[in-house]
Chains A and B, each alone.
Chain A
Amino acid sequence: MSTAAPHTLPAATAAGGATVEFRALRRSFGATTALDGLDLDVRPGELLALLGPSGCGKTTALRILAGFETHDAGDVLVDGQPVTGIPAHRRDAGMVFQSYSLFPHLTALDNVAFGMRMRGTAKAERRARAQELLELVGLPQHAGRYPHQLSGGQQQRIALARALALEPRVLLLDEPLSALDAKVRLTLREEIRRLQRELGITTLFVTHDQEEALSMADRVAVLRAGRLEQCAAPAELYARPATAFVAEFVGTMSRIPCERAGAGVALLGRTYPVDGTLPADGPLEVLVRPENVVLRPDADGPAQVTGASFLGAVTRLTVRLTDGTEVKADLATEAAAALPPGSRAHLVLPDRAVLVDRRR
């Protein structure tokens, strides 16, 4: 990093980030399996979100990469080199934690300069660099404040500056926004994304918030029970989920019972091709997103509107089919006005392949 001008980016930018590989990673805590053979590649300079429900192993994977946890089997490689056995303080990985982790006895400037102090950087140089980084995260005027004098969002920005101060090869973000209120979260989300893009640093972002993952990440890796379910770009993950779990975890899904019809399925009097493989046996359900459900007012239709949630330009209707199945449908708010609760409608799905799963 140059000290010549403010907002100068760390030298790591030019390197284009490191690659990270998890190879058949396993980790158990007593009888609980946190990671069950995780295989995942992170590309240089990308922001990859690790998404999944609580206990799926996403934080464990991150902590193993950071050096705070050990693994039972498998390997972790950074730029092709195994990092097992390298202590955390030599892994060259900056980390921002879920809880506020600024050192309470140090000012914002000293917090950012802490890593450089550990490396023996001269005082004047590290203070100048720390000031630059504070400018980078938009808080140059807070250099002399202590953590207890800063808001949660400001603390996390300074934690980010501190993590970037050592120009790490990998940046690890462990749910850094989860303790913040919604408005600050949105602002900081954009801030992190901007910085990550500018610095080109390989970043792993752990979150259980699908909206956060989809809006920030280049790719999203969905984990379930210690295994990778799918890793894809947000749009692909949403539009073409590889499994029913991913489909339901990312976005809203309704399940509608259907029947087998050759290689496809029959639903509400129509036949649809299947996206992916058709389960070999057992009763089936079609998984459908609210925006893919078409409702037409029809006094004799099989669906009855039971509820409506105003979401702005869109209103989400809940309809009940004759067998009791509840389906969500997103309609333009003007169109939804024609379907008040209690009215009946005809339900149609787009004429394309549908995702099918075993009935629960």
Chain B
Amino acid sequence: MAQLTPTAGSGRRPRPWRGAVLLVAGLYFLVPMAASVWFSVDDPNGGVQFDAYTGLLSAPGFTDALLLTLELAAATVVVLLVLLVPALIAARLGTARMRAVLEVVCTLPLVVPPVAFTAGLIGVLRWGPDHLMDTPFFQTIVFVQQPEFPLVLVIAYVLMSLPLAYRALDAGLRAVDVRTLVEAARSCGASWPRAVVTVVLPNLRGALLNAAFLTLALVLGEFTAASILGYQPFAVWVYSVGNSQGQMSVAVSVLSLLITWVLLLLLAAAGRERRPAPARS
């Protein structure tokens, strides 16, 4: 029987279709990127020039837009994780019905188009008759719209990233037996919060990073809500630059793609197991 059992490597046959699929997929992604890069460095007078890249930092509004976006992304990630992680842990320790309700609530933003969502948000921001102008309610509505740091965008981004973050965290929680780990920690003398912080969260590191990265990627590229609400984070700035400086607009897009890739690689490195491979005895 032993000789019939395929061993590693010996049973592999060349499969030409695999290479073909990879080639087609690679071309699908790489050709537009290569075209973008070529467009951003192509000198109409002949040759290659990197002015679109070197002039980025001095371009009006670039630094402000990028900093605002990164601040918004950081705030969104913090708010999202603070809201979602305890809720998901509680749901996993609770009943299946609670999990189902949470899943529906968290995935609901998927079916609402950003335009419709933003229109609804504008409606909410216009709430309140004038006689409420001196009340904390009205002041809060004004406060969340301040141009220096528009909290209203954080609220919008949190809702938009909810389905992505939910899926990432839920997958992480499914991979660990949260109930047993928490109970084991409690039987070892850890209170509820300590059990979550010292035992559950370290085992969700990959899921937390995934959720944070997906949120960051969404915020970096979100255009609709910010544009309609009248703010100029990175994506809106790229669009506005594109109207007057086409090469710079494409250069920024290429750079943001590279930044996203670098973040993805960092995430993969951080989430990778740092322990030796399993060696069961």
Contact = CB atoms under 8 A, between A and B. Distances in A.
A146 interface: yes
A151 B180 CA distance: 18
A65 to B, nearest CB: 11
Nearest to B281: A151
Contact of B203 (A67, A94, A105, A154): A105
A287 B242 CA distance: 91
Contacts of A95: 183-184, 187
A176 interface: no
B184 A101 contact: yes
Interface residues of B, number: 26
A114 B185 contact: yes
A359 interface: no
Contacts, number: 82
Given A87-B191, A89-B191, A154 B281 contact: yes
Contact of A149 (B180, B199, B275): B275
Nearest to A153: B281
B186 A88 contact: yes
Contact of A146 (B183, B275, B281): B275
B279 interface: yes
A33 to B, nearest CB: 19
Residue from A88, A93, A172 with most neighbouring chain B CB atoms (10 Å): A88
A270 B160 CA distance: 83
B184 A88 contact: no
A149 B278 contact: yes
A296 B185 CA distance: 60
Nearest to A97: B180
B119 to A, nearest CB: 45
Interface of B: 176-177, 180-181, 183-191, 194-195, 198-199, 202-203, 205, 275-276, 278-281
Closest 5 pairs (CB-CB, A-B): A115-B188, A101-B184, A118-B189, A95-B187, A88-B186
Given A101-B184, A118-B189, A119-B189, 16 more contacts: A66-B187, A68-B183, A95-B183, A97-B180, A99-B180, A101-B183, A102-B184, A103-B185, A103-B203, A105-B203, A114-B185, A118-B194, A148-B278, A149-B280, A150-B281, A165-B188
